[in-house]
Structure 1
Amino acid sequence: MNKQTEIKKELAQLPILEYAFLKPGEIIFSKEVRDLCEGNSCGMYHKSWACPPAVGSVESCMEKCYGYDQAMLFTTATAVASSFDMKGWMQARLEHEALTDQVAAVFRRYDKDALILSTEGCTVCKKCTYPDAPCRFPDRMYPATEGYGIMVMQMAPALNIRYNNGANTVTYFSMVLFNE
């Protein structure tokens, strides 16, 4: 049995909404996505090891991703009270990050050097050590897909994954890159 078959068996036990395997060459990178980071649209630019500029240039992120054989994009979707329910969004994000930890554990059993990318910067520490000291939890700090310049909005439909799961839901994405 190959690694991907074993991984799929383990993933079936987790509350992942949708996922797809792809080759790193299929990842859509965009300087415009990184420009949003640099415009500090989420407020994390230059504040976290998981975000730019700490993650490196888009070109260095691309190079890192292309160094892997395979990738997997996965989602969760959570109902929220309304599109303005920021508390609901944050709770859904924390649940997504907890699932990302579980997915990371699965992949790291097969490839200890798997690269895990997730949402909007790291949530592990209340205050990040960036840039004054090294990350306290590098195995649990997952760089943001957007910070890597990855255009999830365009990738999702190409992989038959819903980007939007309807009114009053929040959908989060994570990506794993690994070697077979």
Structure 2
Amino acid sequence: MAKQSEIEKELTKLPILEYVFFKPEEIIFSKEVRDLCQGNSCGMYNSTWACPPAVGSVESCIEKCQAYDKAMLFTTATEVANSFDMKGWLRARVEHEALTDQVAAVFRSYDENALILSTEGCTVCKKCTYPDAPCRFPDRMYPATEGYGIMVMQMAPALNISYNNGANTVTYFSMVLFNE
């Protein structure tokens, strides 16, 4: 298994804004975050393998996360025209997910069972197979951190990561759980 220093050497080659390693026990879980999913605030609930209810209960998500030795949270921040620039937000998300693929490859080269969590549900396929057939790309389908009930808004400052990177920027977060 990899030493954190080996992983960090590879991460410095990627356009990550900020990252931090921590223990899975430090993850802040919240049923309220999951309730937002169930309220379908983003429109992804019950429509993809990356979101509830497909990811399991909050309790099972906690168990999955705490089965790992270490975790890493990382961010990207992208300038957008303004807070209503949906095309800019989408472009930033696509770029963040491409970076998440690169980060996943780094971690999975050391731990093939690393768990990758990312943003707002999966967008790999135009139409998800959920619930009728298994996921076509399970290695590229990253469950949403919020779908796991993770309170990124509280975790970021607790881990000294910027949650908001200023006016006219969008910040996206991904998390990796792995065994060292």
Q: Which runs of 5+ in 2 are unaligned?
A: none
Identity across the alignment (%): 86
- The CA distance in 1 between the partners of 2:168 and 2:53, in whole Å, is 33
TM-score, L = length of structure 1: 0.99
The residue type paired with residue 92 of structure 1 is A
Does 2:87 correspond to 1:97? Answer: no
Tell me what 2:176 maps to.
176
- The aligned counterpart of 2:22 is 22
TM-score, normalising length from structure 2? 0.99
Q: Using the TM superposition, give the Cα deviation of residue 3 of structure 1 relative to its aligned residue in structure 2, in angstroms.
A: 1.4
Within 5 Å, give how 1:101-112 maps onto structure 2.
101-112=101-112
- Aligned-residue offset at 1:4: 0.4
Which consecutive segments of 4 or more residues in structure 1 shift more than 2 A? none
The CA distance in 1 between the partners of 2:22 and 2:58, in whole Å, is 20
The separation in 1 between residues aligned to 2:169 and 2:8, in whole angstroms, is 26
CA deviation profile, 1:107-160 (whole Å, cap 9, x unmatched): 000000000000000010001000000000000000000000000000000111
Unpaired stretches in structure 1, ≥5 consecutive residues: none
What is the match of residue 45 of structure 2?
Answer: 45
Q: How many residues align?
A: 180
Alignment of 1:79-98 (within 5 A): 79-98=79-98
Q: Which whole-Å deviations, capped at 9, do the CAs of 1:40-99 have from their partners, x for residues lacking one?
A: 000000000000000000000000000000000000000000000000000000000000
Question: Which residue does 1:145 correspond to in 2?
Answer: 145
Residue 68 of structure 1 aligns with an amino acid whose one-letter code is Y
> RMSD of aligned C-alpha atoms?
0.9
Separation in structure 2 between the aligned mates of residue 3 and residue 39 of structure 1, nearest angstrom: 41
Cα distance in 1, alignment partners of residues 47 and 168 from structure 2? 30
Show the counterpart of 1:35. 35
CA distance in 1 between partners of 2:136 and 2:110 (Å): 24
Q: Determine helix, strand or coil for the equivalent of 1:47.
A: coil
User: How many Å separate the matches in 2 of 1:12 and 1:147?
Assistant: 28
* CA-CA distance at 1:17 after TM superposition: 0.2
